[in-house]
Amino acid sequence: MTLHWIPRATSATFGIFIGEKSEWDKGYGQSAVGALVGHCFGPLGLNRVGLNCDATNARAIRCYERVGFRHEGVMREHRCVQGKFRDSVVMGLLKREWPNV
């Protein structure tokens, strides 16, 4: 997991990767994202957390939606994977939308 924190802007973006397929669908991603968001809105005092996700990664998008992230847009042909361009979904969550604040 990576967090790119911009204190002056009171916002951050993050990324997460769970590499072992045998560990997928066990809720680790949702737990990790929820903990990170809680830390961002709590101790770090941020107002917004955002992310970009490969538009074909339905599993990740569902995870982010469960935590509370909302779709904000699409960056067309933002990624190149094995020589093919893919769109990225832009998602964000504001402190006032976070149910645990």
What string of H, E and C letters represents the secondary structure of the chain? CEEEEEHHHCEEEEECCCCCHHHCCCCHHHHHHHHHHHHHHCCCCCCEEEEEEECCCHHHHHHHHHHCCEEEEEEEEEEEECCEEEEEEEEEEEHHHCCCC
Q: What is the CATH number of the domain that holds 26?
A: 3.40.630.30
Q: Phi and psi (nearest 5°) for 42?
A: -90, -100
pLDDT digits (tens, 9 = 90+) for 28-79: 888 999 999 999 999 999 999 999 999 999 999 999 999 999 999 999 999 9
- Please give the tally of structural domains in the chain: 1
The pLDDT, as a whole number, for residue 7 is 84
pTM here is: 0.89
Structural domain boundaries enclosing 68: 2-97
The reported pLDDT for the residue numbered 100 is 66
